[in-house]
Amino acid sequence: MSADIYIKNRRAKFDYELTDKLTAGIQLQGTEIKSLRSGQASINEAFCEFKGEEMFVINMHIEEYKFGSHANHEPKRQRKLLLNKTELARWKKKVSTKGLTIIPTAFYINDKGLAKLDIALAQGKKIHDKRDSIKDRDTQRDLDRLKKSF
């Protein structure tokens, strides 16, 4: 199986301070995986939420499969994340803390052909923190340019 599908949430590090990371399986329908293999997905607006004792990813957009029939999937449906009970209990306890949320950072298909979603425990950044991130990125870019010229 080829593992060339890698969809990344580029704004996650800019908008949130990421603390704890985890890789989870994701429950998909047949047309969803076919659409994902063609790279037709977005996780930029997605977040994870607990419903009872299970975790779901919400607002993950997977484009409808263009060769699908009447049994095609809904693009923004809730998709169940596949984690064991101890991981779910630990993360549910962490999310109960004020200001923390779970966001997906990357989606990929592993070597065995299974769909995996990297999720992270995140806390929102303030405006001045975002400005610091921009300033750090610009200074790093300038340093790289200087190093390249020598």
| pLDDT per residue as tens digits for the range 49-98 | 999 889 999 998 888 877 766 777 777 788 899 999 999 999 998 888 77
CA end-to-end span of the chain: 42
Domain boundaries, the chain: 6-125
DSSP letter at 84 equals -
Please tell me whether residue 22 adopts helix, strand or coil conformation.
strand
Kindly report the pTM of this predicted structure. Answer: 0.76
Name the architecture of domain 6-125.
Beta Barrel (2.40)
